[in-house]
Structure 1
Amino acid sequence: MKKVLIAERPDWKATAEQLGFAFHTIDDEPYWDESAYYQFTRSQVEDDIENPTAAIHELCMDLVAKVVDSEELLGRLAIPPAFYDFIRTSWREGHPHLYGRMDFSYDGCSPAKLLELNYDTPTSVYEAGAFQWVWLEQCLAAGAVPRGADQFNSIEDKLRQAFDHLKIERPFYFASIKGSVEDKGTTDYLRDIAEQVGITTRHIDLEDIGLTAEGRFVDLQDRWIPHLFKLHAWEHIFHEEFGAAIPGCDTQMIEPAWKAILSNKGVLPLLWELHEGHPNLLPSFVDREPGKSVGNGWVRKPFFSREGANIELRTAAGEMVKEDGPYTDAPYILQKLHPLPRFGDSYTLIGSWVIGDAPAGMGIREDNSLITKDSSRFLPHLFLD
């Protein structure tokens, strides 16, 4: 694993705009960064990323099966009791799921360590699945990267298979928060793939979803929403006004309710408890004293947070790194610190994608801090035999 500097394609911004990648630059700062790429060997990709991703996914599915049968475990995940039966039913009836992302710390030498699961509302799927593939194809054609270079990336193919497997014949709505260019870009990408397999799709802003007196979700034209991909986390839905209507509604939700079990960091202590010593897991525990200072070599994370918010860590040498944020109303975990590897002035995070139940590819983000935030940059990758 190494970082390789490379000249940017002179027309990459025009290419991005043409392909609908409207959030390549955020607040005048680069989000997509092709001034360098990460190079791996095939064995690093297959043995150190792909295989552990498959193994951990199986552990997660086994864990969901245990949690749905235990009110004690559901409670440990801070899930409201009113939704226990709803979650349990969604698992037992096999409500289908689409995708998820695991975030790893990996330096190319030691085993990749799972930092967290993003299994409900993960973003960066377009960058990982589509735009970095375009980058590789164009760089190969221009002779800018080594001949024979490949990419760990079957994301789009597996998404197509997953949508086809759903066998949806009625309109499939894709919802994101109004005004979020990144979220809209994610749902538009997924919509496009769904339409490739013959599914009729419609976009709707989350704020525009209506609820009839009979408990049916409808669009602005009062049309029933039979299937809904909601880029909105279950932990928020559970506490929102319309959330109480979801268990009794006749809309198929994707991601399904059982993803609430895997969408918070409280699952990490459960995984460690069941599989202590697993080479790809880190010691993790519920923080019983969140008011105390974080010890050297540990990280404190809220059960529910996004983009590094409200995370604090202390290095082995005692240096404190902390990010503020709004996620202060839920429990916390303590996780053994496994620092992100540093390449130059940047710290590197591996995002490994699972589509359906299969590993499908990866995306790489860089930050100037040990905590990967919403200001991080996305860089492409390739591997060589």
Structure 2
Amino acid sequence: MRRHILSPREDWRAVAADAGYDFHTSEDGHAVWCEDAVYAFTLEQIEQDLEAPTVELHRLCLDLAAEIAESPALMTRLGIPDWAHSLVTRSHRAREPHLYGRFDLAYDGTGPAKLLEYNADTPTALFETAVFQWRWLEDMRASGALPTDADQFNSVHERLLARLVEIRSQIGDALHLTCMTEFPEDRGTVGYLADCAAQAGLKVRLVDVSDIGLRQEGGHQSFIDRGGEPVRLLFKLYPWEWLLRDSFGPAIAASGTTFVEPAWKMVLSNKGILPLLWDRHPGHPNLLPAYFEDDPQKFELGMSFARKPLLGREGANVTIVLDGEVAAVEDGPYAGNGYVRQALAPIPEFNGRRVVIGSWVVGDKPAGMILREGAGPISNDTSQLVPHFIAP
């Protein structure tokens, strides 16, 4: 695993515009995409140190989800409201299909890769991984900047199409997709998935979250869009914990709508799975010791650890403690949801940049990866996405 400095494509912004990638720079001018550098891996590192652990971690998470879905006590431990327990249980028993997720891994080229957290419900950076990173590789090979036989761990697009075909065969061919469209990254991610779904033969309709309403007919409630069309199958880039909190949340169970990601996936988008996984698989090479904040065993971690909220995104409300002193902290809106403590994993540093690997699962198969790097020990909304290649 090496970090190389490369000259960016002179026309990469024009290429981005042509691809519909209009959220590569944030509204405050922060560059989300970075191709001033690239990470190189050997095929052995990809297959043995990253792909294989992704398969293993996905298996462990599915086993844990099955256990939690049948345990009101565990769902309560994760902060899931009592009234939503049956929603999770029914969703899992019905085997409602899931689409994708992203494991965030600490890996320095030697292994074993360590699970930092699992973005199981609303992960972004999907378009950048599947489309723009691959286009970068093609352009670099064509220009001679990379060998013509350089490869990439990236079958995300193909696996998304195949998985959406499977979902269409199980559920139906009409798909609504929703997010808070005022956010460019969310809008871009959902737009890309809508394109994939159309290629997979689904009839797609993009709607803002606020454009979904609740229709009451007799004693039955159902979700509809602004045109009055029933929402039977809904992909939502909108966290389950927000759905449960919204006024329409209690209507979900009887609505007849199938959600992607399904309700059972909410248990895996919760960082409470970190201590639960460690409790069930102590010493596993791809797991870090972790405990709930109210568990006295947390003191086994000593004076150095990461403190993370059960529900949180992009590093918000994460604190890094090193030798009893706060080394880094991120503010955020998730302080009231409970916390876990996790042992620190050494995040590799290259040229002053610390990098975390995002390893994708689509359906039940590993599909590719993207790297996110930043200057500090906590990956946050200022971190940048960086491409990779497999050296011949």
TM range (shorter): over 0.9
Q: Which residue of 2 aligns with 1:261?
A: 267
Residue in structure 1 matching 2:362, options 332, 335, 355: 355
Q: Could you tell me whether the CA contact under 8 Å between 1:295 and 1:314 is conserved in 2?
A: no
1:222, distance to aligned residue in structure 2 (A):
1.4
Q: Deviation at 1:147?
A: 3.1
Which residue pairs with 1:121 in the alignment? 122
- 1:291-306 alignment runs, 5 A limit: 296-306=303-313
Aligned to 1:149: 150
Corresponding residue for residue 79 of structure 2? 78
The one-letter code sitting in structure 2 at the alignment partner of 1:160 is L
What is the Cα deviation at residue 245 of structure 1?
A: 0.5
Of 213, 218, 225, 1:219 maps to 225
- Mean Cα deviation higher: 217-226 or 94-103: 217-226
- Using a 3 Å threshold, how does the CA distance of structure 1 residues 48 and 157 change in structure 2: closer, same or farther? same
Alignment of 1:58-207 (within 5 A): 58-166=59-167, 167=169, 169-207=172-210
With 228-237 and 309-318 compared, the bigger mean Cα shift is at 309-318
Q: Deviations over 1:15-37 (max 9, x none)?
A: 10111111111121211100010
* One-letter identity of the residue aligned with 1:276: P
The correspondence for 1:379, drawn from 380, 386, 391, is 386
Query: 1:170, CA displacement in angstroms?
Result: 3.8
CA deviations over 1:144-184 (Å, ceiling 9, x no partner)? 11231100000001001000001254421110103010001
Q: For structure 1, list consecutive stretches of 5 or more residues without a partner in the other structure.
A: none
Amino acid at match of 2:76: G
What SS class does the counterpart of residue 378 from structure 1 fall into? strand
Match of 1:239 among 236, 241, 245: 245
Looking at structure 2, the residues matched to 105 and 225 of structure 1 have their Cα atoms a distance apart, in angstroms, of: 39
SS at match of 1:114: strand
Matched, 1:331 2:338: yes
Q: Name whichever of 344-353 and 292-301 sits farther off.
A: 292-301
Aligned length: 384
Q: CA RMSD in A?
A: 1.6
Q: Hey, what's the Cα distance between the residues in 2 that align with 1:261 and 1:304?
A: 10
Cα distance in 1 for partners of 2:34, 2:117 equals: 24
SS in 1 for 2:336: coil
> Does the residue aligned with 1:161 lie in a helix, a strand or coil?
helix
Distance in 2 between residues matched to 1:31 and 1:232, nearest whole Å: 21
**Cα gap change, 1:61 to 1:289, in 2 (>3 Å):** closer
Q: SS state of the match for residue 87, structure 1?
A: helix
Cα distance in 1 between the residues matched to 2:54 and 2:323: 27
Matched, 1:47 2:48: yes
Give 1:189's aligned amino acid: Y
What does residue 208 of structure 1 align with? 211
Normalised to the residue count of structure 1, the TM-score between the two structures is: 0.97
Q: Does 1:315 align with 2:322?
A: yes
Q: Deviations over 1:178-230 (max 9, x none)?
A: 30100010001111111112111010000111111241111111111111000
Structure 2 gaps of 5+ residues are none
Q: Deviations over 1:2-54 (max 9, x none)?
A: 10011110100011011111111112121110001000000101100000000
TM-score w.r.t. the length of structure 2 is: 0.95
Distance 1:297 1:257 in 2: 35
- The whole-number CA distance in structure 2 between the counterparts of 1:98 and 1:319 is 38
Q: How far apart, in 2, do the equivalents of 1:317 and 1:350 lie?
A: 27
SS at match of 2:245: coil
